[in-house]
Structure 1
């Protein structure tokens, strides 16, 4: 089970954390042990809990229990262990805390009809039992934990896929289909709620996890002023002249899905429907389409899918990825992907332009295997001290592309020698990046305005000689604590536009560190500075690396140097423990009813705090032992602030009292009658729309003068004159 740390700390979470610390202190002073929590419901193969208190002489025993038929109660704790299908492990995480973990030693795969293997589930409800973990001292139980395990088998469809793929037209020439996530013909695609092949029962499995955005079919409808929306029976007589015809190529979401050239509109009458260009040839690659080998097979690289590593996963054009796969080695590997041959890797791939390219393979030998071998288990292997040579540890692909084709493919294979004294946990790495020339194809965060939930794009000056003056993309980060929550093992996560967040990590500090406050401050500043290495931030979601007008300089608020920083025994002041990012955004326009938001300013500031050792609660060792450490928090946060749109000059008394012509308060908006000749219409140049509008006015005047109403007016005038 992965330890999940909330990005924002609520007041309830803070109170629970305080109660948790008080409980640990109470358990330590009273010399008792207790499980926290003392009752769990397990629906997965892993269960984790904490044993708090004096755990020095504690032994753990696991057994299966059942409630009494008469009273319904569970038997009292016992120190007699039983053989179960669970593996019990413990790990000391502190002086008064032990992490207890139970792992199911059973395959959750559903057994076949005629299968004789016992390591599978005979029925969908695979595990249904009650477990009791007892903490004993000298044969006497001190605390107990009850776990109700109710685990279902993993249901894997018999037919995982088909080669029949739904053909999605090239988005350069045609708009996205009504259901872009319908990738398999006559098959239900998981999480694709608009797939017509999905039955009602299928939709119930993932109806709350539908693919969001345009890829899931959730595209905003066309506005009412589009000529394609209006129908002949409901349109007024003047609709062909006053509706707007915009080519479907001008979809505002197009830049997020296709990396290509801009499409310039062709001049022509605004009331004529555009004729779509011919679609591209079928062998031309577009973003997301699978890469094919010379014999029309998928080009595959090991990737992760549904939480597991798949050995033969297709590679999508212009889709970067980097995955890690964990394998338990008990003997030397004999097949792919841990044992690979140059003939298997140097294959020919279609380049998307009618030709082919060959994968260029380069070998590197890994001397230090620490980043690949994470741990070993004391389980007897088949051959003691067996040496496995030329084990494939990493496959790093670089795809060079231009337009809709691939120009070359380079592969760096990392191999190493693994010694099997015990069973080894091997972590292999697989990656693919697409480079346009020497530049990596960076995904945008909007087109043009930022979209909520997409990363904020930052940049630094590219110092390479051939790219002088350009901006190299990077990110603005926050802390992402994992595992034990320490800053030494914490990772970084990018700041997402429009989402306020707070996160942090813990830094061990000893009494000796608090006697050198200047060094401690520099260490904390160095940790916080690693979060933001950029000096620029992009205004919009699709900035140009060569246009400085698309970038803003990040404002760093310097700390007040006049602050008194007096060092007291076992304490330091003015520690920059909190990094705060303020982002001011502004709405610059609307596209299809969607506001386009740009970044106006990004400011980085620090919050200062005082650190002092706490020796209360009976634990005075940190104040006596200079090397004993306590954990102090280092936090980071981001806040987004919307700058209100300028509403213009104040309204006049006529506008306040007479709302008949107010478009925001009436269903009929008379000022929009002249929409094509106003500044709000951007479908074509203003000079052309003005000229066409004046011609239209001339036709109306001519029709009025030459028509029947004018003839009647002249007759009345002549009769009155006589």
Structure 2
């Protein structure tokens, strides 16, 4: 039989409102007493355990967890909220250090203490954010055109203060006092690299040098290489947990002015909707968000002629009135087009006869263009493409829906750098579109490589854009039969068409923020033509010269530095092809592709991209003779002493010599004035006086 009794642990330092310990040993006749104790003024020790308790702000509970074990728990019965100004409620904490006391729990048998638990409680008040009681869970993302996203990257927790994140709006003044001297430094702490000493905004009248402010530099804060660094154009939607109650959807609330991401409303205060994809499935009515481009394709298997929206539409329904966000409304202008080539909409058919039911005026595409300015919509145009479908048994129909927002005549596209390309951002390319005034505008078109999905076949493969600085190789599989290998010209044309669909652009942007109207910001894409003069030796089961591999080679160069960050521009982009023979291999016991002319075998079609750096300094290094005896030759030496007197010498050709001489003399006058009025001359005058 156990005769001893102990607390485990016997001493506890509490920083929270709950304290737990175990009482082990003989616990059948044990009674627990709680009291508040204090150390002796003379010895500094706690008094001996006592079986007499007193009233405290703690509640003591016990739970038998074993034959010889009892869980002892203390819970603080008070509010840890920090009192506000002029608040008289006694339940809150008047100071940040809310509880500071020493407790003693005694285990007694017949009035005699057997064991004791000593608790040192040091609990601070809870610091809640100012907006903790708000019901608005929506985070408004600012318009990227006017304000960069990522102004406070260390703000990771919603409605809570992140430690050492001094730009977190959820941190109160009391929070900031705890770590104001230990804020996260640099960019991820919300602090862009400090401005250099020569910037006009960092100098003051106390520490200004003599040359200030004559030669300080004015540069707006928007001109820094970190803009757009945190904006990737992607959104992560929250995943709600399981719920056994269906949510009650509130009615839409129209807004007076549109902001980025807010829904667009019709004149009847309903959401303006178009068919979109939600969770991978096409829905017929999904709200359109302001300044959010949408482009989807929906696949539908038709067994009969469609009768409802969106495959059957009326002009009166599409030509609706939409609120423009500025107190007025705009009418959707519908433009009808008839599809001539139905191959891009009908992917497969299951025909049982040559004749079938003809479905007239089937809506194949709805392309919306929203023209916007400021926080409003100026006009909306809708291009509806209709066509006739011959329905035998079933038809697989692919319809297209899009909504793009155009500022003026140009669509707002995200850039890939400022000004040089950033690694991991898409390479910007496009095609030239001649305008009415004989000027050209480059319409952006991505450069893609293969992105195989599901079964890896080219018929189901998707495309992914080429990312700057990232080499990659990808491909898909094309089923080819022995009958296809007897028609090598058609096979080569089919493979060439598949590879050409990856790159439809003819120009590539040299920088990450090109101007579509300035042709100097673009260079031609170099396509290496296939050598058609090579003799093709084809057999009944093989084809030579198939362009199965497409290679994209990009040459880039560092053109400068912005705050120690290299700025890279694209100089050359070349697209080449590798020709390879395709032949059936009937080894290994699998002879069905060689026996059955319709049996297929999978052949790979690949694409790759490689990035190369162009060295800044080209040519062989100069010899000692060239360096020593050409120091005054500005065309052959890196150091040109006559250029030291810019802009007063004739070596400066940036402007006429008379203007450069006048500006140089004015600059000399400023230097002399600054020297006379500066600190050295002032000290000389004071000493002389």
TM-score norm. by structure 2 comes to 0.53
1:504 to 475, 480, 488: 475
Please state whether the residue corresponding to 2:491 is helix, strand or coil: helix
Aligned length: 471
Provide the secondary structure at the position in 2 that maps to 1:707. helix
Greater helix content = 1
Match of 1:699 in 2: 674
Alignment partner, residue 294 of structure 2:
321
The equivalent of 2:631 in structure 1 is none
Partner of 2:442: 471
The answer to whether the 8 A contact 1:256-1:443 is kept is no
Q: Quick one: which of 538, 548, 565 aligns to 1:567?
A: 538
**For the residues of structure 2 that align with 1:312 and 1:513, how far apart are their CA atoms?**
43
> Is 1:633 equivalent to 2:604 in the alignment?
yes
Give the direction of change, closer, same or farther, for the CA distance of 1:501–1:236 in structure 2 (3 Å limit).
same
Q: Which residue of 1 aligns with 2:589?
A: 618
Tell me what 2:193 maps to: 221
1:182 Cα deviation after fit: 9.2
Which residue of 2 is the match for residue 246 of structure 1?
219
CA separation in 2, counterparts of 1:410 and 1:181?
A: 42
Q: Residues 408-423 of structure 1 correspond to what in structure 2 (within 5 A)?
A: 408-411=379-382
Q: Which one of the candidate residues 554, 567, 575 is aligned to 1:596?
A: 567
1:642 corresponds to? 613
> What is the distance in 2 between the residues matched to 1:573 and 1:369?
29
Asked if 2 retains the 8 angstrom alpha-carbon contact of 1:227 and 1:240, the reply is no
Cα contact 1:363–1:413 (8 A) shared by 2: yes
Please tell me whether the aligned partners of residues 401 and 408 of structure 1 are also in contact (alpha carbons under 8 angstroms). Answer: yes
**In 2, distance between residues paired with 1:622 and 1:322?**
40
CA distance in 1, matches of 2:467, 2:420: 14
Greater Cα shift, 628-637 or 430-439? 430-439
Query: Cα gap change, 1:634/1:356 in structure 2, threshold over 3 Å: closer, same or farther?
Result: same
After superposition, the Cα gap between the structure-2 partners of 1:631 and 1:494, relative to the gap in structure 1 and judged at 3 Å, is: same
Secondary structure of the structure 2 residue equivalent to 1:699: helix
Matched, 1:407 2:378: yes
| Cα pair 1:578 1:607 within 8 Å, conserved | yes
Distance in structure 1 (CA, Å) of the matches to 2:512 and 2:576: 24
SS at match of 2:445: strand
Q: How does 1:199-218 map to 2 (within 5 A)?
A: none
Shift of 1:353: 4.9
Alignment check: 8 A CA contact 2:334 2:382 kept? yes
2:433 to 436, 439, 462: 462
Aligned partner of 2:369 among 383, 398, 404 = 398
Q: 1:238 to 1:336 in 2, by over 3 A?
A: farther
- Cα separation, 2, equivalents of 1:293 and 1:528: 43
Alpha-carbon shift at residue 538 of structure 1 (Å) = 1.9
Q: Which ranges in structure 1 are unaligned for 5 or more consecutive residues?
A: 1-158, 199-213, 259-281, 377-387, 654-684, 716-722
Question: What displacement does 1:616 show?
Answer: 1.1
Distance 1:572 1:491, change over 3 A: same
* 1:448 matched to 2:419: yes
Q: CA deviation at 1:293?
A: 5.1
Q: Which residue of 2 aligns with 1:550?
A: 521
| Aligned residue runs from structure 1 range 322-471, under 5 A | 322-324=295-297, 347-360=320-333, 395-402=366-373, 405-411=376-382, 430-436=401-407, 439-462=410-433, 469-471=440-442
Contact 2:143 2:260 in 1 (8 A): no
Mean CA deviation greater in 323-332 or 574-583: 323-332
State yes or no: 1:492 paired with 2:463: yes
| Contact 1:558-1:605 within 8 A present in 2 as well | yes
Q: State the Cα distance separating 1:622 from its structure 2 match.
A: 2.1
Question: Which deviates more from structure 2 when the two are superposed, residues 569-578 or residues 601-610?
Answer: 569-578
Q: Which residue of structure 1 aligns with residue 151 of structure 2?
A: 178
Please state whether the residue corresponding to 2:494 is helix, strand or coil.
Answer: helix
Shift of 1:598: 1.3
User: Which residue of structure 1 lines up, in the alignment, with residue 17 of structure 2?
Assistant: none
**Structure 2: any 5+ residue segments left out of the alignment?**
1-132, 172-186, 232-254, 351-358, 625-658
3-state secondary structure, aligned to 2:371: strand
C-alpha contact 1:579 1:636 (8 A) present in aligned 2:
yes
2:501 corresponds to 1:526: no
Residue pair 1:374, 1:427 contacting (<8 A) in 2 also: no
1:606 — aligned with what?
577
Write out per-residue CA displacement over residues 434-460 of structure 1, whole angstroms, 9 at most, x where no aligned residue: 235555444433333223333222233
Per-residue deviation, residues 30-54 of structure 1 (Å, max 9, x unmatched): xxxxxxxxxxxxxxxxxxxxxxxxx
My pick for the range that moved more, 325-334 or 556-565, is: 325-334
Matches within 5 A, 1:46-445: 162=136, 166=140, 168=142, 172=146, 178-179=151-152, 220-225=192-197, 230=202, 241=213, 244-250=217-223, 291=264, 299-301=272-274, 303-304=276-277, 315-324=288-297, 347-360=320-333, 395-402=366-373, 405-411=376-382, 430-436=401-407, 439-445=410-416
What is the distance in 2 between the residues matched to 1:389 and 1:519? 33
Check the 8 A contact 2:428/2:445 in 1, yes or no: yes
Cα deviation, residue 581, structure 1: 0.8
TM-fit CA distance, 1:221:
3.5
**Kept in 2: contact 1:390–1:415 (CA 8 A):** yes
**TM superposition shift of 1:239:** 9.8
Range moving further from structure 2, 451-460 or 231-240: 231-240
Q: TM-score, normalised to structure 1's length?
A: 0.51
* Aligned-pair CA distance for 1:499: 1.7
> Does structure 1 conserve the Cα–Cα contact (< 8 Å) formed by 2:149 and 2:230?
no
Q: Aligned partners of 2:483 and 2:347: how far apart in 1?
A: 34
**Cα pair 1:168 1:180 within 8 Å, conserved:** no
> Does the C-alpha gap of structure 1 residues 358 and 543 become closer, same or farther in structure 2, counting only changes over 3 Å?
same
Query: 2:485, 2:140 → 1: CA distance?
Result: 64
Q: Which moved more, 1:623-632 or 1:220-229?
A: 220-229
Instruction: Give the 3 Å change call, closer, same or farther, for CA 532–489 of structure 1 in structure 2.
Output: same
